[in-house]
Amino acid sequence: MSGPSTYEPKYAAAKWMDQRLPIIRMGADFMTFPSPRNLNYWYTFGGILALCLVVQILSGVILAMHYVADVDLAFASVQRIRRDVPFGWLLQSMHAVGASMFFLAVYMHMFRGLYYGSYKAPREMIWILGCAIYLVMMATAFLGYTLPWGQMSFWGATVITGFFGAVPIVGESLQQWLLGGYAVDNATLNRFFALHYLLPFVIAALVGLHVWALHHVGQNNPIGISEKTESDTLSFHPFYTVKDAFAIAVFLVIFAVFLFYLPDALGHADNYIEADAMKTPAHIVPEWYFLPFYAILRAVPSKLFGILLMLGAIVVLFVLPWLDTHKVRSMRFRPVARWFFILFIVMCFILGWCGAGVPDDIAIPLGKDAGITFYRLGQAATVYYFAYFLVILPILGLVETPKKRPDSITKAVLGENHSTAGLAPAE
Amino acid sequence: MAFKTTKNFILGAIVAAASVTGIAYAAGGGVESDYKMEHPDWSFNGPFGKYDMVAAQRGYKVYREVCASCHSLKYVAFRHLGDKGAPFYLADFENPNDNPYVKNFAADWTIEDIDNETGDVIERPGITADYFPPIFPNDAAARASNGGAIPPDLSSMVKARNNGADYVYNLMLAYGSPIPKGVEITPGLHWNPVMDGGKIAMAAPLSEGLVDYDPVEINDHGELKTIAAPEATVEQMSHDLVQFLAWSADPKMEQRKSVGLMTLIYLIILSLLLFLSYKRVWRNVKH
Ligand code: HEM
């Protein structure tokens, strides 16, 4: 809900500026932006994500000053950063652990959006920009993981770029064009570095649009009912600045525990071995945040169909606003969809588990030497993943009867019989 | 909650999810063998753990006298040995390049160099700024001397294997376990159930009494104190080696943990203050 601007320049200089470039006005309007008064902690992840992006860019720019993108020197340069650059160990871990934290936050943020129906009109563009951000984030993380030039860097890059080779007719040329040669090598490493440095700024620009769209239509909220009167809202500052700040501090505690005490818990031991094109690791496994997609990729025997499925798993997110046709946004009032949503989350975890497992190993034993393999389990979860978007939500959109909803945020907060009095914010 | 691998981490999350849905999972098995992995309680484990520096000093000796005939330590410089949090740190020598032990260790190695006057390849004693030199001139030479296998660099070995400290320790101890039926060991390979696949090109490097432990301990000020040297059993040498290699893989661990503690205390206090501010700002607001 972008109301009329309430900013009044107080000083002559501010007034002068306001008539020429209303940038102070923009900041002031941002701080007083009317936000729904009932936002819960799930709504703090947007701010947390903004911080994650800043952390990645700052640590990354400094790392780039010491990193050498050359197949003979890259691994050693990272060792040098960890051993010799003052506080290099901190920066390097911060960037690596930070990537995991970023994805942790983005998944919370996305599940939040899925649950409260934040992708529905009029927020389709916020959601689509979010999906675009997520896509670029995945590309950035993949490119970045190649840079330390460990065994998993090299083989991960080889496997993933190998999938482009499966594209009919142009596949092989496409793959060579991407790699700058016949295999992952110096040309690949250099272009990956260039792109890895570029993409975070693309993300920053997309985030700008994302927040712009958000401020244009206003934020959704846990009950999914639009803001109607002023009593439905609170000024962003101080109410949500302080709530976001608290959430950020708690998030940083978790970040710090990993950073200082479990810096390798989310990584692979194999990446401490320098890349060796002659030695394939026993298991090539991507980072944890890609595991669900890796399971979808391997859910079918055909390479090509596998990539199409994986791409489809992301494309389907983009069109979600038109797949879920139900009028009610928040799943709090959708008794049926809610259970399918919870099952969807469970399936995402199962997909992640299957992505980490060896396809032919038994995942769920049923008697001696028999059971459901990771391959089969991954297939089942993949089917559910797509069914959730393509079948369950569209059908529920037609048939589900929602629970009774409050008339407004104010009434939801104070009960049906209260007027808007007594809602005045402190100070 | 130290999840050693991503897989364990994911498994942990899944087991949590599984308890809801009633799914059970079976852990996969490695090589069939009677060998029981030992999991010593390493002094460097846990949020306050530190290296056992005296053991790491002995571990350096084992590395120097045994492993260094095959394995390099190329990401470690001699001066690193005298850094804060390193085995030979002396409080009186903040600059490790002045540390007498570090100087001696460096001089004990031969470094290949170019003579500035003549341009000839020469050999000179190491200086503190040098890195540990390569053991073999190239990979082909390394392979030729080791039955086709390259002895990997040991700088980050403890990080380069899952549960690396236990891994290296058990790798040393597991030699000589009975070879299971049906397993064929070709010449040049050795049975070691800890190694992935059970076959390793490295012969058992340690044997009882291989290293003469000095009956001295170096204190923070570089003074030697006479102590009873431990017996050089395979267990003792492996333990000491792991202390040294754990340090070489993670030389900033002690700094990391102490900065971590300060950061956490700061962040927890900050969270509390922000929570109180939140409560205060929102005190009259229903939401
Ligand atoms: C760099 C990554 C991202 C940043 C910095 C970011 C930032 C933000 C911020 C600051 C907000 C408002 C506060 C909040 O609701 O939490 C927001 C809202 C939103 N974001 Fe993101 N976001 C990111 C990625 C994504 C992704 C990947 C998606 C989904 C695919 C997404 C979907 C949404 C939606 C739908 C809203 C509106 C929520 C509502 O009004 O209920 N965002 N984002």
Reported ipTM: 0.93
Tell me whether residues A253 and B277 touch, CB distance under 8 A. no
Determine the pLDDT at residue B2.
39
CA distance B79 to chain A (A): 11
Q: Which two tokens stand for residue A280?
A: 């394939």
Prediction pTM value? 0.92
A343/B contact by beta carbon, under 8 A: no
Determine the pLDDT at residue A1.
44
Closest of B160, B235, A284 to residue B152, by C-alpha: B160
Cα of A130 to ligand 1 centre, how many Å? 6
Query: What pLDDT tens digit does each residue of chain A (427 aa) get?
Result: 456 788 999 999 999 999 999 999 999 999 999 999 999 999 999 999 999 999 999 999 999 999 999 999 999 999 999 999 999 999 999 999 999 999 999 999 999 999 999 999 999 999 999 999 999 999 999 999 999 999 999 999 999 999 888 889 999 999 999 999 999 999 999 999 999 999 999 999 999 999 999 999 999 999 999 999 999 999 999 999 999 999 999 999 999 999 999 999 999 999 999 999 999 998 899 999 999 999 999 999 998 999 999 999 999 999 999 999 999 999 999 999 999 999 999 999 999 999 999 999 999 999 888 899 999 999 999 999 999 999 999 999 999 999 999 999 999 998 766 655 445 554 4
Nearest by CB: B9 against A39, A288, A358: A288
Cα of A393 to ligand 1 centre, how many Å? 22
Domain B2-76+132-251: which topology?
Cytochrome Bc1 Complex; Chain D, domain 2 (1.10.760)
Nearest by CB: B3 against A256, A265, A423: A265
DSSP A240: I
DSSP B92: T
Determine the pLDDT at residue B11.
42
Cα of B3 to ligand 1 centre, how many Å? 30
Q: Which residues of A touch B131 (CB under 8 A)?
A: none
> Residue B134, preceding bond cis, omega within 30 degrees?
no
Closest of A124, A123, A11, A101 to residue A50, by C-alpha: A101
A208/B contact by beta carbon, under 8 A: no
B26/A contact by beta carbon, under 8 A: yes
* Tens digits of residue pLDDT in B112-148: 999 999 999 999 999 999 999 999 999 999 999 999 9
Q: Which residues contact A171 (CB under 8 A, 6 or more apart)?
A: A164, A165
B45/A contact by beta carbon, under 8 A: no
Query: B71 labelled as ligand-binding?
Result: yes
* Tens digits of residue pLDDT in B209-249: 999 998 888 887 878 888 888 999 999 999 999 999 999 99
Determine the pLDDT at residue B28.
33
Q: Which residues contact B48 (CB under 8 A, 6 or more apart)?
A: B257
CA distance A42 to chain B (A): 14
A380/B contact by beta carbon, under 8 A: no
Closest of A297, A353, A292 to residue B24, by C-alpha: A353
- Residue A52 CB neighbour total at 10 angstroms: 23
Residue pair A206/A129 in contact (Cβ under 8 Å)? The answer is yes
Determine the pLDDT at residue B222.
79
Query: B287 labelled as ligand-binding?
Result: no
Mutate which of A35, A55, A264 to disrupt the B interface (most B C-beta within 10 Å)? A264
Binding site, annotated residues of A for heme b = 95, 109, 196, 210
Pocket residue to mutate for ligand 1, from A33, A49, A226, most atoms within 8 A of Cβ? A49
**3-class secondary structure, A186:** helix
Cα of A46 to ligand 1 centre, how many Å? 5
Determine the pLDDT at residue B31.
57
- The residue nearest atom 29 of ligand 1, judged by CA position, is A130
Q: Which residues of B touch A265 (CB under 8 A)?
A: 2-4, 9
d(CA B93, CA B97): 8
CA distance A16 to chain B (A): 34
Question: What percent of chain B stands above pLDDT 70?
Answer: 89
Residue pair A109/A46 in contact (Cβ under 8 Å)? The answer is yes
Q: Length of chain B in residues, anyone?
A: 287
* Tens digits of residue pLDDT in B3-42: 344 444 444 444 444 333 333 333 333 456 789 999 999 9
* Tens digits of residue pLDDT in B166-213: 999 999 999 999 999 889 899 899 999 999 989 999 999 999 999 999
Nearest by CB: A269 against B160, B267, B283: B160
Question: What value does the mean pLDDT take over residues B82-90?
Answer: 95
For residue B126, CA distances in Å to A84, B60, B130, B132 come to: 19, 16, 6, 9
Determine the pLDDT at residue A418.
60
B284/A contact by beta carbon, under 8 A: yes
d(CA A76, CA A149): 9
- The residue nearest atom 16 of ligand 1, judged by CA position, is A46
Determine the pLDDT at residue A415.
77
CA distance A36 to chain B (A): 9
Cα of B219 to ligand 1 centre, how many Å? 56
Q: Which two tokens stand for residue A204?
A: 């920053």
Binding site, annotated residues of A for a ubiquinone = 215
Pocket of ligand 1 (CB under 6 A): A 43, 45-47, 49-50, 53, 106, 109-110, 113, 116, 118-119, 123, 126-127, 130-131, 133-134, 203, 207, 210-211, 214, 219-220
* Closest chain B CA to residue A342: B17
Window 226-265 of A: residues touching B by CB (8 A cutoff) are 234, 238-239, 242-243, 245-246, 249-250, 252-253, 256-257, 259-265
Cα of A92 to ligand 1 centre, how many Å? 27
